[in-house]
């Protein structure tokens, strides 16, 4: 029986001064159940320890690649990441967020199942003192 090859997904993470949340973000990207993944970290001129955290992850996991640029803003960092990615699918993530281990596989399954050009989802906000549960299933755009 022929094994089906998973499409490559590029996860682009612009990084700017988020050292306090960054490890949780990158840990969550590293444990994705979808295995054919590249993680593009675009350090946008961070002045804290964010670049060093990114370099540590890139040095330990070949799926992670670090790029650095002078501070140009989150849109410029995302656009730079888009120029570097090789994936058939692209996903964006903020560097102060984290994702469930099946996040990429769920979005990809939705895209493939509906022959969708884009998949969007809501988020679940978490605060130190409360939770605002706004999580829903993914939606697709054809």
Q: In sequence order, what are the beta bridge partners of 11?
A: 39, 91
Round to whole Å and give the CA distance between 42 and 119.
Answer: 23
Report pLDDT for 133. 47
Inside any domain, residue 138: no
pLDDT at 135: 45
Q: CB under 8 Å to 72, separation ≥6 — which residues?
A: 44, 45
Q: Is the CA virtual torsion 86, 92, 96, 100 positive or negative?
A: negative
Q: What is the pLDDT of residue 4?
A: 74
Number of domains in the chain: 1
- CATH number of the domain residue 27 falls in: 3.90.550.10
What pLDDT, on the 0 to 100 scale, is given for residue 123?
A: 79
Is 81 a domain residue?
Answer: yes
Instruction: Let me know if residue 130 belongs to a domain.
Output: no
* Domain housing 81: 9-101
In-domain check, residue 140 = no
- Report the pLDDT value the prediction gives residue 3, as an integer from 0 to 100: 62
Q: What is the pLDDT of residue 33?
A: 97
Q: Output the pLDDT for position 2.
A: 59
Residue 122 lies in a domain: no
pLDDT along the chain (142 residues), means of 10: 82 98 97 97 98 98 98 98 97 95 95 93 71 52 54
Question: Does residue 36 belong to any structural domain of this protein?
Answer: yes
Is residue 120, in this structure, part of any structural domain at all?
A: no
Contact 33, 104 (CB under 8 A): yes
The pTM score is 0.88
Residue 137 covered by a domain: no
């Amino acid at each position: 029986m022929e094994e089906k090859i998973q499409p490559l997904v590029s996860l682009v993470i612009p990084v700017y001064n988020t050292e306090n949340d960054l490890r949780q973000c990158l840990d969550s990207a590293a444990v994705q159940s979808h295995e054919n993944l590249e993680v593009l970290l675009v350090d946008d001129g961070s002045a804290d320890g964010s670049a060093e955290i990114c370099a540590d992850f890139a040095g330990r996991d070949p799926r992670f690649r670090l790029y650095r640029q002078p501070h140009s803003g989150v849109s410029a960092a995302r656009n730079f990441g888009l120029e570097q990615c090789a994936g058939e699918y692209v996903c964006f993530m903020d560097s102060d967020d984290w994702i469930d281990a099946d996040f990429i596989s769920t979005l990809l399954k939705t895209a493939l199942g509906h022959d969708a050009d884009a998949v969007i989802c809501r988020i679940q906000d978490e605060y130190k003192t409360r939770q605002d549960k706004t999580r829903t299933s993914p939606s697709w755009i054809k």
